[in-house]
Amino acid sequence: MKKKWMIQAGMLGVFLAASLFQPSTAADAPRHFTEAKKYAKQIFSDRQTTFYCGCHYDKHNKVNLKSCGYHIQKNKRRATRLEWEHIVPVSLWGKDLECWKKAVCCQEKKACYKGRACCRKKDPHFAAMEADLHNIVPEIGELNQYRSNYRFGMLPEISKDRFGQCEIKIDPETRRVEPRDAVKGTVARAYLYMADQYAIALSSSQKQLYSSWDKQYPPEAWEIEWDKRVAHVQGNHNRFITQH
């Protein structure tokens, strides 16, 4: 009986995976970030590795910090917790919206509020952008906090050993981040995609940097597979990946 149940469970897993990655349309795309995180967890189910450091994590969203040599800074609980990170930070496109700047969301007998929560409620376009799976990756919670909404760039003057063996550089003074070489291309293509898809303005220096990283670090097998899986769920590819 146990053997029969294991076979049935295995077949069910195959069926669910096949169902997830059937061709879809934009109408089936995740409607909000909470829904997107559920899809992202399934998309990365056989690639449970954090983005910036390459740490392994389990099905309970617990990160194995020893697997990548990450050095905890202050928050042990958040350091061992997986979070879903926006490569292009939400504030980049949200900060100019009225719902972000003004307290236009009000509830009876409660103070009005603004910011991310308000834009989720008031602006469907914002919610769709926040839920775009081409911009969502798994990451160490504490590192997500330290990366904040800083811009990416080159930081030759910053030591890369602050976070142990995780080769990411973060400079809070200039509010910039330099990721490890293995993901620079992915970062670049996420930025170029989001800017193109949602008319997000990038400075000339940013465009130059991301174009350079895109050429220097072309997509490898997993990034190509990730794009395919996202397209099957969301209905569109990242053309900066597929054009290589």
Number of domains in the chain: 1
Residue 122 is assigned to a structural domain of this protein? no
Measuring CA to CA, which residue among 153, 147, 98, 150 is closest to residue 126? 98
Domain that holds residue 32: 27-86+133-242
In this prediction the pTM is 0.88
Residue 1 is assigned to a structural domain of this protein? no
Residues with Cβ within 8 Å of 221's Cβ and at least 6 positions away in sequence, in order, are none
Residue 2 is assigned to a structural domain of this protein? no
pLDDT in tens, the chain (244 residues): 434 333 333 333 433 344 454 544 455 789 999 999 999 999 999 999 999 999 999 999 999 999 999 999 999 999 999 999 999 999 998 999 999 999 999 988 889 999 999 999 999 999 999 999 999 999 999 999 999 999 999 999 998 889 999 999 999 999 999 999 999 999 999 999 999 999 999 999 999 999 999 999 999 999 999 999 999 999 999 999 999 9
Residue 100 is assigned to a structural domain of this protein? no
Residue 95 is assigned to a structural domain of this protein? no
Residue 101 is assigned to a structural domain of this protein? no
